[in-house]
Every structure is written in C-alpha cells, then in structure tokens.
Amino acid sequence: MKMQKTNRKASQFGRILSRLCQNKAAVFGMVILLVLLFCSIFAGVIAPYDYAAQDLASRFQGPSLSHFFGTDNLGRDIFSRVIYGARISLIVGLSSVCLAAFLGIILGALSGYYGNVCDNIIMRAMDILLAIPNLLLAISIAATLGNGIGNLILAIGIGSAPGYARIVRASILSLKDQEFIEATRSVGGNDFQIIFHHILPNCLAPIIVQMTLGVATAILSTASLSFIGLGIAPPTPEWGSMLSAGRQFIRDAWYVVTFPGLAIMITIFGLNMFGDGLRDALDPKLKN
Amino acid sequence: MPRYIFKRLLMMIPVLIGVSFVIFSMLYFTPGNPAVQILGEGASPEAIEELSNEMGLNDPFFIRYFTYLKGIVLHGSLGTSYSTNRAVMTEILSRFPTTLKLAALSIVIATLIGVLCGIVAAVKQYSVFDNVATAVSLIGASMPNFWQGLMMILLFSVYLGWLPASGFDRPVCWIMPALTIGTSTAASIMRMTRSSMLEVIRQDYIRTARAKGQKEKVVVFHHALKNAIIPVLTTIGLSFGHMMGGAVLTESIFGIPGLGNLIVGAIKARDYPLVQGGVLFIAFAFGFVNLFVDILYAYCDPRIKSQYSTHKRRKTKGEVAQAT
C-alpha cells in the first residue's frame, strides 16, 4: 500500500517535471537559477578577489581581463562583489519567502478552516497590512528593526505574509467541505491532521508558485531597501547597496552601476520565467 | 451606486484606524528618542527629559495613541513634524501634488503602451510582434525601477545630454521619471491585457460578431476589449495605488520632492508624526483609488452595475403570471 502511494507520488512528480522540461522558457529560467545557486555556493572559488579587498591604486578601472566588471571607488573588484552578492540575495530571498509562507500558511489555515470570528480577525488584520504598499511596509518595518540580514528577512517576510494568507485561505475554503475531509473527520481525524495532512498538501500548487515568484520580489525588495540605506550595510556586497554606493560615480564609471543592476535583472528574469513555467506545469488549465 | 460608495467609504474607517495602530506601534518600538534627535547628541539629560515630557513621549502607549487619534478625529490634525515644526498635513499636501503628477503621467504612459501592445500581441498570437512584446515585457517586469532610472540618466543625461538628470520643476524633467515608472508598469499591464484578451477572443460571441461581418477593429475594441478590460483595470488601479507611495526609489534617484522621499527622509530623521501621517495618507489614497476602480468597473460592465443597483426592477404582468 505504502509502495503504491510512493509510486503514485513519484509519477505525479514525474508528470510535473516532464511538463516543466517541455517549456523552453522555464528551462531557461531554471538554468539561470542553477548558475546563480552555483555562484552563491562556490563564491569563494569563483571570485578572483576578496570582496572586501581594497586597492586604492587601481580604483575605477574599466572592465578588463584582470577585472571582468572593473573596480569601484575603493579599488574593489566588482565581479567578485557581484558573485558574493548572489549569496546574500539568495539567502535573504529564500529565507524571507520561507518566513512569509510559514506565517501566511498558519494564518490562512486558521482563518479558512475555523471561519467566523477567527476568520474576521485574521483577515481584517491582513487587509490592514495590505492597505500599505508593500515596499513602504517593508521600509517601515526595516526602520523599526534596524539594519542587518536578519532584520531584513523579518521585514520582507512579514510584509509579504498577507499575500500567502489570502491564497491559503481561499484554497482551504474550497477544500474544507469536500467529501474526503468529511471522511477523515468521521474516522476521528482531528483538526491538526485534517489541516496539515489532508488540506494543505492539496493546495500546495498555488503556494509553490507564489513562493517562486515571491523570491524574485524579495530579492527586489532587498535591493530596494539596501539602495535607500535600510537594508544591508557596506562593506557586505549586496547588489542594491552596490548600486546605491556607485550612483554618485555614474558620470565617470558606468560599470559601477551597470553590472550589479544587470545581476538583479537576470536573477529576477530567471525566477519569473521559472515561476511562470512552474505554474503552467502544476496547473495546465491556467496556461493560455 | 451612491449607497455603495458611502458603504465603501465607511468600510475604509476601520482599515485606516488599523493602519494608524500598526504604524504607531512600529514607531513606538523603534529604538532612539526623538527628543535627542531634535536637541542633538550633546543636549543635557534634563533638557531631553523636559522636552520628552512636553512632547508626551513619556506617556504610556495607549494614552499616546488615543491622543494621536483624538487629534485626527476632532481637529483633522496629523500632528506637528519634529524636524520642520510645521503641521504634518501641510508638509504632506505640499508634496502630494508632485507625487500625484508623477503617478498620473506614469500611469498614462503605462496604460497606452501596455494596453495597445497587449491587444496587438493577443490578436496576433504567436507572431513575431507577440514573441518580441512578450520577451520585452518579461525583461521590463524584471528590471528594478531604480536601476532603470540610473541607466536612463547614464544614456540621456550623461552621454546624450538630452534630458536633465534631476529635478521636477520643468516639464522636460518629468520625462525620465515618468518613463522609468511607466515602462516598467506597462510590462505587467501588457501581460494582463494579452492573457485577458486571449481568454475573451476565443469565445463564441466573438466568432458570431466576425460571422456577422463586423470589421476586425469593431470586433476587437467593441466586443473583445470591453469584456476583457476588468482584470486590466484592476492591474492599472493597483499600479496607480502603489505609485502613490511606492515611487520612493524613483523619487530618490531623480531628486523629486514627492511624498515617498518625504517619508523616507522622515524615517531616517525619526520624525514619527510625519511618518505616521504620510503612511496613513498613502493608505487612504490607496483605498480611494481602489474604490474609484470599483466604480469604474460598473461603467465598463453593465452586469456589475446591475449588482450595485439597489432598486429591483418591477416584474411585468407576464412575468408574474409565469412565476405563479
């Protein structure tokens, strides 16, 4: 029985993977993400210089074979800093999305499953958070908590949680009155089992898609917050703070702001392509 | 309809009270004393204590919050800015027209580009235009606003010298910021228009309209677009709402004295009343834009208008007889 269940899960996963691999754009996005992952894991090996090593004698050198992306105002190698920046962006992006999904799933599940007063309290609180533009909410939270990676993850994670809560609530509302839930309840299943073993696995698809696209938004928010000085403080190489530090030298050194921005754009492009492909693979009905 | 609008406006009140509570709580727990900020690091502890008492900073949380709320409800006052000593409302209203102008220009650019490209891409699905437009919109949606702004400054100000890099006092200064926000928003509007049009264009009534010999222009704009516009309007409305407060980075890059810049400056200066007032004002503007979009739905789609209508149609004699 257990083997049958495993086989069924494996075949379902295989079908999704096969649909995903047939989508060229999604594969392209996946390749970008794998390259990014590789860069962030092996940043120490790939980067030719230490990201914080200053060499004032070679400041503002244009792109060349010794410095692929040139050097900044302190003579630091921009290529090395962009490679290390991938690590920071991925850490913040993935962690904040996991935090947002965790909070959103718990709140959405409680709201959708128990309904009535619980639903009203949680969803009105979510409405309040949604009434503040996302970036402004993240800015306010980041200002309260202060600089640092941990605080940045909290700021972006809390700011994005209402979106997940809404998705989970909607999925639970459509599932909780179905017959298989009635059956579980009639054989003595408690609320925890029903929510986490029966309902949530059935509404994973929209959550996974939202998480993939959410990483892109989180990376963009990280860069935005760092750009206005509320994210990761220098000398840690974060793409947004690199852009912010380099903008005053834009007239003399175009490469200081061009390459970190390109890195952000390519990453978000890859995540969006992969997210769209994953959505089509998980729910082919949505595909146009 | 007026009843619906009134109901929606009433529903905004608890949301705004909630927003004020959330922002007030966040700023209450923010480390640092505004009295020190005003008097400077070298001020004596006695002077700081006196000013703190005067400003009510030593009062308990709920007393401070209710004093703040009382000021809004009874006097329409959002407090006084710590840094400029002017009324918060005056500060906000002096910056809001700039933000509104930027948002309006950007949304016009975004709508024109997004809707037109989306329609053509949907009508000519899988054509070269469709593929190029889809790819460009994907790239546009992936490009951070602030980086796009910097690249435009690099190209149009530094290399070509066509446009000024900062300011918002002359119409020529409006072009780059509006294009920066407008083109990135156009990407999402285009994607939504394309997918919404594709859904509608395959419906039977479109085939019927074509079979009746209607011109393609009439089929697309009169029959298809009218039915596909609702999700597009939602995207435009949401984008416009976000532009009211979310254009923080663009305002910062181009040195525009707008609301976003004001709030970020206030956060850095720990000017609590200005931050609270600014966020509350943006939440109100956001809610108001959403309400406006909802009203616009009714004008675009008679089915939605009939849902808002409170007066039920009187049944005809024939209908009554049929029912009985």
pLDDT digits (tens, 9 = 90+) for A163-201: 899 888 988 888 888 888 889 889 988 888 888 888 888
For chain A, percent of residues with pLDDT exceeding 90: 32
B296 Cβ contact partners less than 8 Å away, ≥ 6 residues apart:
B233, B237
Confidence of residue A8 (pLDDT cuts 50, 70, 90): low
Identify the three-state secondary structure at position B315.
coil
Q: B237: which 2 tokens?
A: 């409305």
Rounded (5°) CA angle B102-B107-B109: 100
A246 Cβ contact partners less than 8 Å away, ≥ 6 residues apart:
A72, A73, A253, A256, A257, A260
Q: B289: which 2 tokens?
A: 């834009």
Phi and psi for B70 in degrees, rounded to 5?
Answer: -60, -40
B41 burial (CB, 10 Å; 0-12 / 13-18 / 19+) is exposed
Q: Which pLDDT score is estimated for B308?
A: 64
- The answer to whether the beta carbons of residues A39 and A71 sit under 8 Å apart is no
- Give me the half-sphere count of Cα atoms (radius 13 Å) on the Cβ side of residue A257: 25
Measured between CB atoms, which of B15, B144, B150 is closest to A223? Answer: B144
Closest chain A residue by Cα to residue B251:
A228
- What is the spatial distance between Cα B209 and Cα B220, in angstroms, rounded to a whole number? 10
- The answer to whether the beta carbons of residues B285 and B99 sit under 8 Å apart is no
- What is the spatial distance between Cα A176 and Cα A200, in angstroms, rounded to a whole number? 10
Mean pLDDT computed over every residue of chain B: 85
Mean pLDDT computed over every residue of chain A: 86
> Which letter does DSSP use for residue B80 in this model?
B
Distance from the Cα of B309 to chain A's closest Cα (Å) equals 26
Does B208 or B309 have the greater pLDDT score? B208
- What is the spatial distance between Cα A69 and Cα A84, in angstroms, rounded to a whole number? 14
When pLDDT is averaged across residues A110-121 and rounded to a whole number, the result is 88
- What is the spatial distance between Cα B239 and Cα A133, in angstroms, rounded to a whole number? 10
B63 and chain A in contact, CB less than 8 A: no
- Is the CB of B144 less than 8 angstroms away from the CB of A125? no
- What is the spatial distance between Cα B146 and Cα B296, in angstroms, rounded to a whole number? 31
Q: Which pLDDT score is estimated for B80?
A: 86
Confidence of residue A288 (pLDDT cuts 50, 70, 90): very low
Rounded (5°) CA angle A76-A78-A83: 120
- What is the spatial distance between Cα A232 and Cα A211, in angstroms, rounded to a whole number? 23
Query: Which residues of A lie closer than 8 Å to B, measured between beta carbons?
Result: 124-125, 127-129, 131-136, 139-141, 143-144, 146, 216, 220, 223-224, 227-230, 240, 243, 247, 250-251, 254, 257-258, 261, 264-266, 268-269, 272-273, 288
A188 Cβ contact partners less than 8 Å away, ≥ 6 residues apart:
none
- Cα-only R_g, chain A: 22
Calculate the alpha carbon distances from A85 to A39, A56, A64, B288 in Å.
9, 21, 20, 39
> What ipTM does the predicted assembly reach?
0.83
| Count of pairs with CB atoms under 8 A, one residue in A, one in B | 130
> What angle, rounded to 10 degrees, do the helices at A204-227 and A149-175 form?
150
Distance from the Cα of A27 to chain B's closest Cα (Å) equals 15
- Is the CB of A139 less than 8 angstroms away from the CB of B267? yes
- Give me the half-sphere count of Cα atoms (radius 13 Å) on the Cβ side of residue A63: 9
Distance from the Cα of B267 to chain A's closest Cα (Å) equals 7
Calculate the alpha carbon distances from A196 to A141, A201, A204, B201 in Å.
30, 7, 11, 41
Among residues A287, A61, A79, A174, the alpha carbon closest in space to that of B198 is found at A287
Residue with tokens 């494996």: A10
In the predicted structure, residue B252 carries a pLDDT above the cut 70: yes
Phi and psi for B126 in degrees, rounded to 5?
Answer: 65, 10
Phi and psi for B162 in degrees, rounded to 5?
Answer: -85, -40
pTM for the model: 0.83
B23 and chain A in contact, CB less than 8 A: yes
- The answer to whether the beta carbons of residues A106 and A98 sit under 8 Å apart is no
Distance from the Cα of B317 to chain A's closest Cα (Å) equals 41
Q: A136: which 2 tokens?
A: 């402004």
When pLDDT is averaged across residues A18-30 and rounded to a whole number, the result is 88
Does A106 or A130 have the greater pLDDT score? A106
Q: B272: which 2 tokens?
A: 């609590």
- Is the CB of A268 less than 8 angstroms away from the CB of B144? yes
